[in-house]
């Protein structure tokens, strides 16, 4: 690929100033930006910083540099000076050359391998409930960021840490034991994760009723919450699990097995997969050796009750518990040990945790403690902190059963996509299987795009109806754009016209909208790099929308298939082939497929 427009102009301007004024140019004095839409030009060189070298007026300096660049660089076709700004117009030959280069570049936008090994952990569900809307944002971010990193040349490993033990798991187990009557996914017709989630809600209802009864007997609220029989039974069940009680373990394995089957189906429907899955039941003891290491080094402190703490007050934080008085681990202990094992086992250059912003403090402490323990890679841990997802109806609560299950949401989106598509009346000739595939493609595209187009750091409001609109900044709009391009190309093929990169001739006269399309296409590799650096799929999502929107404006103004000049017709067809290819590549990083018909 040729130099980017900015890099080209910087180089040309440096040569012009050095030749005209005999002075070396500091990079800080050369400022290039896209020309504002209300002025003629492609890119603009800001003249004001150069006046300290030229000692001339802005107009004289701009005209002198503009004339030099136009004379010595064939890529520049014209220029004009407005106040202290030199607006430069690239020649059509350059834009045609750029487009030809893009068309001929396989995997355009993909960057060379860096040799960097990155692990990204996401999803991390609990096995007491199905995946919900919040998990969807986590999974979509994790998957899309991993794709971004791959496109930027990194070797990426996707991992999941399933929280499959603890009091919350025992609550579901106890409720099933008390109330289930032997119910199974097969006997109930429910997905296993939904069935177990129902019993988690059932436990909470039972617990609240017990607390209410204890309050009526005169017990304080605080004491009632501690003494509720169901809670004490669940706590006893957890102790039994940790001691290896065969009956508790058998129940735990059976119900977790139901949940894993349910999770697998949801992940498959989302288009998500992992290279390795960790289980908290296998990792919760990791880190105990590190705690002992910290004690031996005087980094940690043991209290009289046997608990172990790390004092972070000197770092502006507080004291952090690492081991309880009874010697049991906490989440931090597990994460310390898991991080050590992963960096040692996979020789990682970086580890990214995709976790909601309510855990910001946890990961701040994790990095700090690992650094105190002497691990040089502690600074290579990064918490991709994202905002919560809310619905128009408000926040969700798992215990009360008011969450929006991922499966239910996907089914609802599918039904909406089906209704919307059938109402357009353009797919009657598709068979049932083809229609089903289209509806799934549209519903997932709507949901994924609506979530991923928002900066990860921001809390977002998910509106299913708005997400599936075929107009505006939505997934279906971009999908429809691709289908429209495919329709044009099918009609051209029926006329015996199949475009190729060879149809992009250097002397082709271009319209302003064609130049605009090529400009957007040219920035794609830089946008991929920027998004990868920022770990923000939103940058790619909004790039795809900008490209799709520009194409639709071009399509509205340019009746492509009515062009009588065959060379120009072939050129325009190849231009939209490139647009379609870049849209497919960009949306693939978001986990979104683009249909050929809608």
> Which structural domains are found in the chain, ordered by start?
5-90 (3.30.1360.70), 166-280 (no CATH), 407-588 (1.10.730.10)
Both tokens assigned to 469:
């609109």
User: pLDDT-based confidence at 279, cuts 50/70/90?
Assistant: very high
Q: What is the full DSSP assignment across 346-399? A: H--SEEEEEEEGGGHHHHHHHHHHHHHTT-GGGGGEEEEEE--EEBTTB---TT
How many residues would you count in the chain?
A: 598
* Percent of the chain predicted with pLDDT > 70: 98
User: pLDDT-based confidence at 400, cuts 50/70/90?
Assistant: very low
pLDDT digits 0-9 by tens, 187-206: 999 999 999 999 999 999 99
* Percent of the chain predicted with pLDDT > 90: 90
Q: What is the full DSSP assignment across 263-302? A: HHHHHHHHT---SEEEEHHHHTTTTHHHHHHHHHTTSSEE
Q: Is the pLDDT of residue 592 over 80?
A: yes
pTM as predicted? 0.92
pLDDT digits 0-9 by tens, 57-115: 999 999 999 999 999 999 999 999 999 999 999 999 999 999 999 999 999 999 999 99
Q: Which residue do the tokens 């600074």 mark?
A: 379
Per-residue model confidence (pLDDT) at position 394: 53
pLDDT digits 0-9 by tens, 215-239: 999 999 999 999 999 999 999 999 9
């Amino acid at each position: 690929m040729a130099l980017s427009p900015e890099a080209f102009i910087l180089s040309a301007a440096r040569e012009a100033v050095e030749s005209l004024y005999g002075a070396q140019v500091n990079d800080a004095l050369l400022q290039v930006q896209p020309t504002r839409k209300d002025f003629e030009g492609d890119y603009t060189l800001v003249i004001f910083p150069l006046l300290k070298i030229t000692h001339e007026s802005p107009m004289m300096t701009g005209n002198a540099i503009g004339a030099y660049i136009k004379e010595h660089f064939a890529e520049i076709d014209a220029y004009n000076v407005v106040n202290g700004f030199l607006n430069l117009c690239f020649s059509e030959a350059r834009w045609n050359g750029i487009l030809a280069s893009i068309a001929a570049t396989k995997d355009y936008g993909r960057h060379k391998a860096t040799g960097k090994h990155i692990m990204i952990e996401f999803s991390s569900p609990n096995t007491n409930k199905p995946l919900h809307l919040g998990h969807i944002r986590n999974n979509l971010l994790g998957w899309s960021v991993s794709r971004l990193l791959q496109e930027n040349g990194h070797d990426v490993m996707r991992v999941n840490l399933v929280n499959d033990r603890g009091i919350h798991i025992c609550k579901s187990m106890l409720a099933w034991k008390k109330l289930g009557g032997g119910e199974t996914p097969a006997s109930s017709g429910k997905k296993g994760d939904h069935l177990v989630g129902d019993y988690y809600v059932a436990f909470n209802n039972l617990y609240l009723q017990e607390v209410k009864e204890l309050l009526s007997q005169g017990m304080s609220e605080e004491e009632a919450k501690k003494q509720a029989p169901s809670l004490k039974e669940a706590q006893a069940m957890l102790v039994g699990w940790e001691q290896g009680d065969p009956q508790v373990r058998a129940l735990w394995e059976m119900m977790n097995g139901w949940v894993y089957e349910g999770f697998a189906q949801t992940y498959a429907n989302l288009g998500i997969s992992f290279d390795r899955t960790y289980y908290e039941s296998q990792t919760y003891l990791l880190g105990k050796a590190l705690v002992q290491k910290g004690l031996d080094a005087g980094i940690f402190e043991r209290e009289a009750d046997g608990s172990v703490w790390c004092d972070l007050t000197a770092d502006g934080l507080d004291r952090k518990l690492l081991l309880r008085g009874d010697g049991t681990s906490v989440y931090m202990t597990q994460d310390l040990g898991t991080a050590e094992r992963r960096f040692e086992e996979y020789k990682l250059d970086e580890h990214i945790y995709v976790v909601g912003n309510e855990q910001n403090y946890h990961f701040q402490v994790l990095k700090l403690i690992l650094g105190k323990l002497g691990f040089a890679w502690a600074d290579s841990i990064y918490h991709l902190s994202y905002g919560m997802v809310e619905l128009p109806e408000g926040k969700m609560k798992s215990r009360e059963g008011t969450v929006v299950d991922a499966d239910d949401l996907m089914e609802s989106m599918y039904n909406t996509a089906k209704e919307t598509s059938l109402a357009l009346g353009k797919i009657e000739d598709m068979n049932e299987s083809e229609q089903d595939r289209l509806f799934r493609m549209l519903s997932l595209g709507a949901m994924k795009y609506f979530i991923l187009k928002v900066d990860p750091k921001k809390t977002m409001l998910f509106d299913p109806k708005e997400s599936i609109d075929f107009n505006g900044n939505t997934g279906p709009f971009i999908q429809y754009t691709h289908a429209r391009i495919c329709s044009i190309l099918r009609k051209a093929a029926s006329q015996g016209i199949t475009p190729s990169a060879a149809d992009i001739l250097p002397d082709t006269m271009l319209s302003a909208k064609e130049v605009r399309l090529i400009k957007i296409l040219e920035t794609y590799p830089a946008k991929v790099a920027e998004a990868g650096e920022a770990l923000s799929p939103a940058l790619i999502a909004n790039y795809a929308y900008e490209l799709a929107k520009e194409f639709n404006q071009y399509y509205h103004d340019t009746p492509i298939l009515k062009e009588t000049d065959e060379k120009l017709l072939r050129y325009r067809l190849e231009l939209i082939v490139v647009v379609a290819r870049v849209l497919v590549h960009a949306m693939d990083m978001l986990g979104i497929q683009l249909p050929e018909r809608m």
